Amino acid sequence: MIVSTRVRVRYKDTDCMQVVYYGNYLTYFEVGRVEFLRQQGLPMSDVDQKVHLPVVEAVVRYVRPARLDDLLEVRCWVSERKRASFRFAYEIVSEDGETVATGATLHACLDPATSKMIAMPPWLRELMPVVQSEPKPSV
């Protein structure tokens, strides 16, 4: 269960160093995990009704800069699952197959009404099988 999504680098995403601004990889990760959930039959609007999944921790490792108009592939999978939290891992790959960035986001499960931590709901757990090993060693 590794879901791939394509993202085209916009002017908006770049900065005056002529590469993608470092914070924008977290936006690409967002696109990757939203498409992961959609492919599992879970559009974000539905998910948000049932459970909040705020990011508790995010890590990005920058390997090669991406540039304007690059067509990036965002690979997203579940790398870890605990009782009340889970981790998405990401790898962003260029069109010529080189790793651009890797990273991870740790998510908590919250009750949308009370904002209290809850155990990961079974229907969500089921749709999020853990992929044991990363496709490549990260940097």
- Residue numbers of the site for a second copy (CB under 8 A)? 8, 10-12, 14-19, 21-24, 26-27, 30-31, 34, 43-45, 48, 52, 54-62, 65, 67-69, 105, 139
Instruction: Report in angstroms how near the CB of residue 51 gets to a second copy at its nearest.
Output: 13
Nearest to 77 by CA among 122, 129, 26: 129
Instruction: Find residue 89's DSSP bridge partners.
Output: 77, 104
Alpha-carbon distance of 13 to 90, in angstroms, equals 18
Tell me which residue of 9, 36, 32, 35 sits closest to 91, measured CA to CA.
32
Residue whose CB is less far from a second copy, 45 or 114: 45
The nearest distance, CB 128 to a second copy, in angstroms, is: 19
Residue with Cβ nearer a second copy (52 or 81): 52
Contact 90, 29 (CB under 8 A): yes
Nearer to a second copy, 95 or 129 (CB): 95
Which CB atom, from 45 or from 132, has the smaller least distance to a second copy?
A: 45
The least CB distance from residue 137 to a second copy, in Å, is 15
Q: How far is CA 89 from CA 46, 104, 112, in A?
A: 22, 4, 24
